[in-house]
Amino acid sequence: MTHRREVDIAVIGAGVLGLATAEALVRRGADVLVFDGRPPGAGLSGGLTRTFRHRHDNELHVAMAVEGRRGFARWEQRLGRELIGPEGAVYHGMDHSHVTGMAAQRVEHSFVPGAVGGEVFPALARVGTPLLVDPGAGAIRAKRTIDALAHWVGDRIVQADVHSVTVPSDGDGAEFQTTEAIYRARHVVICAGTAVTRLGASVGFDIPVRSALHARPHFRVRPEFAGTPLPCWVDISGEFGVNVYGSPIGATGTYVVGMIGPAVDVPFGPDGGLPPGTDMEEHVRRVSAYVAKALPGLDPEPVGARVCVMTKLPKGSDALRAWHRPGVTTIAGHNLFKMAPALGELLADAAEKDQLPEALERAGADALEAA
């Protein structure tokens, strides 16, 4: 008799990536367990909404988004409910050089003159330059997605924190120590969000994720626009002071807006704390000032604000990368919710074959280069 438990594949983390990986593995008939000390979706995948958009600078990421959209459609069919709304996305400050990946992947898109921008984004002020429209984009129902995945993965979720992952001296699989038991698995997939750097380090991965705090206020849609579908929004034009993204929050009549750019988040210091004098309220005020100028269809007085953690690789906010060694695979990056169905299948492949799929390797090739 041994005190150690065995499982073929272990997934660490019940966020959207860990659950998507586990869902793919359960569907394929694998022997898989998912470990998380917190309820599913309590980490970076929390909250009600995320933007699904096709546009990325890297064409491989556009292709991954296309695959992600197909995967969401499969999940929607299985669930019998919508997971990505029909709102579309509108981008300001982009020209044809920004859509080469979309064009190469044959993703439907168009440009409309700024003067008629109100037709594609009714809450928007008049803008000076053309707007890019991505009609296949929309607001991901994030909580509904997490709830569905957790339901499908079911009793394969073990409520336990993983302290560390180690590669045994016989080199066969991986061992990990949890608050519940010691386990040995043929393969471990680490999808631990903000904890990937620490857990990955224990098996020799050097994962340079930079974690920073990010303020995400939300605003009431003015009554005259209530019931009008508002698209997701990306503004890198600088026309209204700061660059932002935005997304409707389902049918709640509220709309979330956050700033984008290299200096808009507050990085944690080496001691894990925030720099003295950090004022997240100031970030909320800057977003409100943007809303007052650019989005007259929203009341610029925020009705709430979430403060979230961003986990970016050196290449920036759309970078992703997977690491692999025999017995262990992990993934890091940001803005990965929209790709979760595609990444889940690829991570499931990695676990089953103990090999990094080429699509994952190529998608992460430039992730460690400075932006």
Instruction: Using CB under 6 A, list all residues that contact ligand FAD.
Output: 12-18, 35-38, 42-45, 50-51, 161-162, 191-193, 195, 199, 214, 216, 308-310, 334-338
The residue among 52, 352, 328 whose CA lies nearest residue 196 is 328
Closer residue to ligand FAD, CB minimum distance, 80 or 262: 262
Q: How far is the CB of 224 from ligand FAD (least distance, A)?
A: 26
Question: Residue 212 or residue 289: which is nearer to ligand FAD going by CB?
Answer: 212
User: Taking Cα atoms as reference points, which of 140, 142, 148, 137 lies closest to residue 66?
Assistant: 137
290: alpha, beta or left? (left if phi > 0; alpha if psi -120 to 50): alpha
Other CB atoms within 10 A of residue 44 CB: 21
Amino acid (one-letter) located at 41: G
Describe the crossing of helices 340-353 and 59-79 by its angle, rounded to 10 degrees. 100
* Residue closer to ligand FAD, measured from CB, 192 or 207: 192
CB of 331 to ligand FAD, least distance (A): 7
Cβ atoms of 257 and 287 closer than 8 Å: yes
Nearest to 84 by CA among 370, 341, 364: 341
Nearest-approach distance from CB 20 to ligand FAD, in angstroms: 8
Nearer of residues 133 and 232 to ligand FAD, judged by Cβ: 232
Of 109 and 334, the one with the shorter C-beta distance to ligand FAD is: 334
Q: CA 232, CA 141: separation in Å to the nearest integer?
A: 13
For the CB of residue 214, give the shortest distance to ligand FAD in the complex, in Å.
Answer: 5
Give least dist CB 233 to ligand FAD, A: 11
